[in-house]
Every structure is written in C-alpha cells, then in structure tokens.
Amino acid sequence: MKKHLLLPVVGLIVLVVSVIFYFNQSTNINNSRDEVSSLIFVTPDFYNNKLINENTLGEFYIVNFFASWCKPCLLEHPLLMEMKKKGVKIIGINFRDDEENFKEWINEHGNPFEYILKDDGTIAYEMGLIGVPETFFIVNKIIQKKIQGPLFYEDVESYL
C-alpha cells in the first residue's frame, strides 16, 4: 500500500469502529423500565387498606412520588388538586416519610390522590426514582413521560 494512503485508511477504520460502538452503546443505555412497578398493585392503600386494580384506573393515570419533608412538592400541589377536579386519577406514593408528618401534611394541604401508598424506598428503587417530587404519566399501562421535579401546567395541559 502506498505510504500516503496509510493515514486516511487507518483514520477511516477508526471512524467506522467508533460509529459502530456508538450505536451499540445507545441501544444499551435505553433499557430503563417502561411499565410501572408491580409492587404498586400489591401494596395496600394507606387509608382503606385495599389493593389497586390497574384495570379500574382507565387508559390514563399518574403516579406521583411525594413526601411531607419535600418543599418542591408543595409547588405542584395546587396543580395536582386541579387535576383531581378534572377527573385525572393520581396514585400518590409517599416516599420515606414519617407517618404522623404525612397525615398532617395531607390534612393541611388537601388530598389530590385516588390512592396513597406508603413506600420505604422499595417502589422508588424499582421505578428508578432520583428524588421527590417525581411524576410518571401512564398511558395504556406504559410509562409515556417522566417529570423530575415539580409539575407545571405545561407538563400536564395535553392530558387535561
């Protein structure tokens, strides 16, 4: 092979190999869960002790992680109350919280949730939670959207 061709050929090989590995990496990263954790349907509701039947939730529902110690949760609370009024079913998951503080919080600010589950962190782990508040939009049993941090009207308007 001519010497002046060596560099471009080696460069091309490196480029091709890099592109192949880049696409291989992309497909491996995108494997986080797309369904909600089954633990949600085997954990009894905090108030009435009943299990949630996913079939009664309808095509669209929301799973919202919150805690009484979480200040940003208060920011989205009025929006959750409004969504409840508009008929959106919200499963509230109380993340690593003191029971008394949690009850007081609900009494003080209102209950926007159809169901409330207490979570010691196991459901959060299975759902890949990073912090509270965090909200999952479930359409036809598939997680369509995930919002980390407080919800804003723009996040939910297309669902109302």
Partner 1 sequence: MSKAIYKIIISLLFVHISAVSFANVNELSDYYKTVRCLVCEGQSIQESDTEFAINLKEQIQKKYNSGISIEEINQELIKIYGEEISFNPPKYHILLWGTPLIVLLIIFIFIRNKIRFFNRV
Binding site for partner 1 (CB under 8 A): 3, 7, 10-11, 14, 17-18, 21-22, 24-25, 28-33, 95-96, 121-122, 124-126, 128-132
Q: Which is nearer to partner 1, 22 or 140 (CB)?
A: 22
At closest approach, how far in Å is the CB of 97 from partner 1? 11
Long-range contacts of 147-155 (CB under 8 A, 24+ apart): 149/72, 150/72, 150/73, 150/75, 150/76, 151/64, 151/76, 151/79, 151/80, 152/76, 152/79, 153/79
Q: Which is nearer to partner 1, 24 or 158 (CB)?
A: 24
- Judge contact between 122 and 128, C-beta under 8 A: no
At closest approach, how far in Å is the CB of 129 from partner 1? 8
At closest approach, how far in Å is the CB of 73 from partner 1? 13
